[in-house]
């Protein structure tokens, strides 16, 4: 068994732990492989965030500028500017070099899906030797749906509508076939926002789209460490992917 959703750098400004942001010194990748082995895992798939790489600026663009809510746009802009410290080129080189040293690693990427930029994103990624791509919805328009600072939007929008907006994008991503795997498919629940009624209708749409395009779904324990304290996807949704 492996872990196929692993990031090599923390979010936010550099806190002095680990190598400086965007650097992959000797032993950095080895340390992840050793830690995985201690947990009984035989392989590690790295999935750096595309939006964190400086190369993504030209394809994702200032996507928050079309967000009508100024507060959400400002929060996203500040977050992206703070987090965009990595180099796609350097990341790929580091993982490819680790593979050629014989380490049990795979080269992946967590791709931010936005309908308007996905074609340009795939063009940017085309030259690199990916083993797999995972796809995520982190933004609905300019709203960072899984970013704590912007969680106030759930109260304004309503939880059901937030789910509708989120799953509409996730379904579009699943249908596009642009990625191999859907990452944290119901991350919209991260902070504990759950609609009064289980949104089976929204779940069914993403399940059907994924089945039609042959896109896999990630099962992630990361949700256990979030306020929702539950795996992604929620067990009732996971069963629907059967
Ligand atoms: Zn993610």
Same domain, 87 and 127: yes
Query: How many domains in the chain?
Result: 2
At residue 102, the pLDDT reads 96
Q: What is the token pair recorded at 37? A: 């082995």
Q: How far is the CA of 137 from the centre of ligand 1 (A)?
A: 7
Q: How far is the CA of 162 from the centre of ligand 1 (A)?
A: 17
| pLDDT 10s digits, 24-34 | 888 999 999 99
Q: How far is the CA of 221 from the centre of ligand 1 (A)?
A: 13
Same domain, 65 and 93: yes
pLDDT at 100 over 90: yes
Each as own residue / partner, the long-range contacts of residues 99-106 (CB below 8 Å, 24 or more positions apart, any chain) are 103/29, 103/30, 103/33, 104/2, 104/33, 104/42, 104/43, 104/44, 105/29, 105/33, 105/43, 105/44, 105/45, 105/46, 106/2, 106/4, 106/43, 106/44, 106/45, 106/46, 106/131, 106/132
Same domain, 17 and 47: yes
Same domain, 208 and 137: no
Q: What is the token pair recorded at 80? A: 């992206």
Longest Cα separation, the chain? 51
Phi, psi of 173 (to 5 degrees): -60, -45
Q: How far is the CA of 184 from the centre of ligand 1 (A)?
A: 7
Q: How far is the CA of 158 from the centre of ligand 1 (A)?
A: 22
Give the chain's mean pLDDT: 95
Q: In this structure, what CATH number is given to the domain that contains residue 134?
A: 3.20.20.140
Q: How far is the CA of 175 from the centre of ligand 1 (A)?
A: 19
Q: What is the mean pLDDT of residues 142-161?
A: 97
CA–CA separation, 47 and 63 (whole Å)? 22
Same domain, 142 and 103: yes
> Domain limits at 52?
1-146
Closest CA to 41 of 95, 17, 5: 5
Q: How far is the CA of 182 from the centre of ligand 1 (A)?
A: 10
Q: How far is the CA of 83 from the centre of ligand 1 (A)?
A: 13
Quick check: is 181 in a domain? no
Same domain, 134 and 167: no
């Amino acid at each position: 068994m492996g872990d196929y959703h692993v990031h090599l750098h923390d979010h936010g400004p550099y806190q002095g732990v680990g190598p400086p942001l965007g650097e992959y010194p000797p032993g950095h990748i080895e340390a992840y492989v050793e830690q995985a082995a201690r947990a009984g895992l035989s392989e590690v798939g790295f999935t750096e965030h595309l939006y964190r790489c400086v190369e993504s600026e030209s394809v994702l663009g200032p996507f928050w500028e079309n967000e009508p809510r100024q507060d959400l746009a400002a929060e996203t802009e500040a977050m992206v500017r703070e987090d965009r410290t990595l180099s796609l080129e350097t990341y790929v080189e580091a993982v490819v070099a680790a593979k050629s040293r014989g380490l049990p690693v795979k080269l992946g990427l967590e791709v931010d899906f936005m309908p308007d930029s996905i074609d340009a994103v795939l063009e940017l990624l085309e030259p690199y030797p990916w083993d797999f791509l995972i796809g995520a919805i982190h933004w609905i328009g300019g709203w960072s749906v899984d970013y704590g600072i912007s969680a106030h939007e759930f109260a304004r929008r309503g939880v059901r509508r937030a789910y509708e907006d989120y799953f509409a994008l996730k379904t579009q991503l699943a249908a596009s076939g642009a990625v191999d795997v859907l990452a944290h498919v119901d991350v919209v629940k991260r902070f504990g926002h759950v609609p009064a009624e289980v949104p089976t209708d929204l779940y069914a749409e993403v399940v059907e789209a994924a089945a039609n395009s042959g896109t896999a779904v990630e099962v992630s324990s990361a949700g256990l460490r979030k306020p929702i304290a539950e795996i992604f996807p929620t067990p009732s949704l996971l069963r629907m992917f059967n």
